[in-house]
Amino acid sequence: MNLLETIALNLRSASSIAVLTGAGVSTASGIPDFRSSEGLWSEDQTREYYMSSHYFSYNPEDFWKKYKAIFRIKLLKNYHPNKVHHFLQELESDERDVSIITQNVDGLHEKAGSSQIVEYHGTLNHASCPKCGKKFSLDYVMNQPVPSCSHCHCVLKPDVVLFGDLITAHEEAEKMITQADFLLVLGTSLLVTPFSLLAEQACRHPALSTAIINNEPTGKDHLFDYVVHQDLSAAVDTLRELVS
């Protein structure tokens, strides 16, 4: 039995699956992987400075200009779920819960129809007023060079976790993992903390089987029961056949 067959067996038998997903899940949808060895973050390290809560407070007008350019937000509606997103949704059934904890901010898991999602780093799909908390849609955000609240007239802040912001979804994500029978990690290098800590904590849990599928080796591979280095779309094609 090869590794994908073993992973498929775990997926079929588990009543609760937790899935950690990273940028590699969305690359087949045309969205760049910002943190891979060839990702966009490696092109210009100053992006971390510009995409920070500090810079948003210091120069919100220029922040919004750079934010829209860096995340190619104008193109967001052109992106659609790919076979990986759809496969995870298809795993859901009356007998099986699937909880997705994603680093991705593109909203494609929700668009694919998955029902239990923690967007660990937030979402590009809306922004909020820092003063009154009112949320505004992507259409609203795109219709203004510097979007502001229609009520307070404050400059809106994106609902993504900027550098310097606190992660608020960690406890919810931890709870999903502790309730699972099987942890599947897809398309992430596990370089970013505290997201990477979720995998580390899960892999120390003796009753939880764990697997990672990623195109490249990661520094956390040794923690997992099953490790597959393969194109994610190809691996999912195989898993779909084995699980169905």
pLDDT tier at 43, thresholds 50, 70, 90: low
pTM: 0.90
User: By C-alpha distance, which of 158, 168, 161, 203 is closest to 182?
Assistant: 203
Contact 11, 95 (CB under 8 A): no
pLDDT of residue 149: 96
pLDDT tier at 48, thresholds 50, 70, 90: confident
- Tell me how far apart the alpha carbons of residues 207 and 205 are, in angstroms, rounded to a whole number: 6
DSSP assignment of 113-163 equals: T-SEEEETTEEEEEEE-TTT--EEEHHHHHTSSS-B-TTT-PBPEEEE--B
Task: Tell me the mean pLDDT in the region 134-148.
Answer: 93
Task: Tell me the mean pLDDT in the region 53-58.
Answer: 95
- Look up residue 52 and give its DSSP letter: B
pLDDT tier at 196, thresholds 50, 70, 90: very high
Is the pLDDT at 33 greater than 70? The verdict is no
**Which of 86, 121, 151, 222 is an active site residue?**
121
User: By C-alpha distance, which of 155, 125, 194 is closest to 53?
Assistant: 155
Domains of the chain: 1-31+84-121+167-244 (3.40.50.1220), 33-78+126-160 (3.30.1600.10)
pLDDT of residue 1: 62
pLDDT tier at 215, thresholds 50, 70, 90: very high
Q: Please, what is the average pLDDT of the chain?
A: 90
pLDDT of residue 123: 93
Is the pLDDT at 35 greater than 60? The verdict is no
pLDDT tier at 185, thresholds 50, 70, 90: very high
Is the pLDDT at 38 greater than 70? The verdict is no
In three-state secondary structure terms, 192 is coil
pLDDT of residue 37: 42
pLDDT of residue 94: 86
Contact 29, 79 (CB under 8 A): yes
pLDDT of residue 221: 96
- Tell me how far apart the alpha carbons of residues 114 and 117 are, in angstroms, rounded to a whole number: 7
- Residue ranges for the binding site? 129, 132, 149, 152
What are the C-alpha distances in Å from 209 to residues 17, 162, 183, 218, 238?
Answer: 10, 32, 6, 18, 20
Least confident of 37-46, 57-66, 141-150: 37-46
- Residue ranges for the binding site for Zn(2+)? 129, 132, 149, 152
What are the C-alpha distances in Å from 212 to residues 15, 86, 113, 130, 133?
Answer: 19, 18, 23, 38, 37
pLDDT tier at 77, thresholds 50, 70, 90: confident
- Tell me how far apart the alpha carbons of residues 34 and 42 are, in angstroms, rounded to a whole number: 8
- Decide if 121 is catalytic: yes
Contact 212, 229 (CB under 8 A): no
